[in-house]
Amino acid sequence: MGVILVYNTMNFDKNLTILRGMGMSKGVLKGSFGMKTVLFFMMISLVSTVAIAQDLPRIAIYVTGNIGEDEKSALGTVMLSALINSGRYRGIERSSAFMAEVEREQATQRSGAIDDSHISELGKQFGVRFVCIAAITPAFGSYQVSARIVDVETAEVVHIGNAASPLNLMKDLEEVSEKVVVSMFGKSKRTASNISAGGGAFFLNDFGGGVLNEEYTYKMPFSSIGLNIFLDVVYAEVSVGLLFADGTVYEDIEYSFTALTFGILGKYPIRFNKITVFPAVGVDYKTVLSGGETYGGDYTYEWGRYAGSYSALWFKLGGGADIDLNENIYLRIGLLYGMRATNESEKETIEDWWWGEPKANIGHGFTLRAGIGYRF
């Protein structure tokens, strides 16, 4: 069953070593995919994420109208969230302080009113680029919520939106805020479909694997690089990939393989402006198509029809982030830690070893992913 027998003459017949490999074509990657590399890619991803978030203009909100102060504050908070979730703005930490300052300015005016130019000046003091002014007017047993976004540099109104609501319940505040934002910018294409698809590259390594007993340990670590495509439906991702892997048992014994991967992840997305983060858990099955082992760079043993015995199921846990490049296209990055089930080759090796109570050495490692997705 694809077994290579190597006799160690120094230890006579007892030292029968049954070597099995799991591994990528020679030269694609050498050694294990180190933690320094993982941390490097994580740092690059973090810097990119922060840079995109910082690029958004700041916005503050002021609510006026014939309702209670608590209701004004609640509506302002909910509408600010709707504006931030549109992916066009980022908020300010002192939003309530800004509203209070506008109220104080209004109280000092003889007419009791404050115009857009005054609000724009206050906006500059708070370091914002835009101010959303929401006016609430009772009409026919309901309320009309009209909002305008003012550029504080020019005092120009750049967006206008409105919607009607009874404003009886908290959900009314959320619904009317969403309607106002949609009225301003149109319905986001992101809400038209929950389906997206894409592709990219991934790096997978296995720190362990192989078989050990009381006297021998044959760990078979490997590193791999691959390409994959994925289909995403909000809380689930299905992927198919092709990977090329290689590894080293000893200095003069190398192995490599090519495999297909089939994965499914469950995830829970949490959105912040243009960035959506998600924890994820799932499984991935690696189907080995071909592979072999090379001894001293001279002799090569091809696994042939036994290559499938090196296939294995992975259980994975981790997370990722989607960074919006525009309303349709996003960058997806992710880091997963996985543990591998014992494959058939390792099970057969355990059965073949008749000394030292052999057992499987658990395979485990990291998967780093990066790709581009498109929302339909």
pLDDT of residue 10: 30
pLDDT of res. 1: 34
pLDDT tens for 163-211 read: 999 988 888 888 998 899 988 887 654 444 588 999 999 999 888 777 8
Q: pLDDT at position 188, please?
A: 56
C-alpha span between 259 and 346 (Å, rounded): 17
pLDDT at 241 over 80: yes
Compute the average pLDDT of residues 296-322. 89
Top-confidence residue, 271 or 366: 366
Q: What percentage of residues in the chain have a pLDDT greater than 70?
A: 78
Same-domain status, 212 and 150? no
Give the Cα separation of 275 and 292 in Å (integer): 43
Is the pLDDT assigned to residue 53 strictly greater than 70? Answer: no
Final residue of a domain: which of 156, 188, 220?
A: 188
Instruction: State residue 320's pLDDT score.
Output: 95
- Looking at the structure, tell me whether residues 197 and 317 fall in a common domain: yes
pLDDT the model gives residue 370: 96
Same-domain check for residues 162 and 125: yes
- Does 242 share its domain with 224? yes
pLDDT greater at residue 284 or residue 300? 284
Please answer whether residues 339 and 176 qualify as being in contact, where contact means their C-beta atoms are separated by less than 8 angstroms.
no
Mean pLDDT to the nearest integer, 25-40: 42
Asked whether residue 184 falls in the same domain as residue 197, the answer is: no
250 plus 159 within the same structural domain: no
251: DSSP letter: T
Number of domains in the chain: 2
User: What's the CATH code of the domain at 149?
Assistant: 3.40.50.10070
Question: Of 154, 188, 222, which residue is a domain's last?
Answer: 188
pTM of the model: 0.57
pLDDT of res. 38: 45
Same domain? 66 vs 46: no
Segment 295-305 mean pLDDT: 82
Q: What is the DSSP string of 307-369?
A: GGGG-EEEEEEEEEEEEESSSSEEEEEEEEEEEEPPPHHHHHHHHH--SS--EEPPEEEEEEE
Separation CA 156–CA 307 (nearest Å): 68
User: Is pLDDT at 244 greater than 60 in this prediction?
Assistant: yes
Q: Within its chain, how far is the Cα of 281 from the centroid? A: 12
Do residues 180 and 161 touch, judged by C-beta distance below 8 A? yes
pLDDT of residue 265: 96
Domain assignment of residue 121, given as a range: 58-188
Same domain? For 209 and 64 the reply is no
13 has pLDDT over 70: no
**Does residue 214 sit in the same domain as residue 334?**
yes
| Domain containing residue 202: CATH number | 2.40.160.20
Let me know whether 174 and 296 are in one domain: no
339 in the same domain as 278: yes
Residues 235 and 168 occupy one common structural domain: no
Q: Average per-residue pLDDT in the chain?
A: 79
Among the candidates 172, 188, 204, a domain finishes at: 188
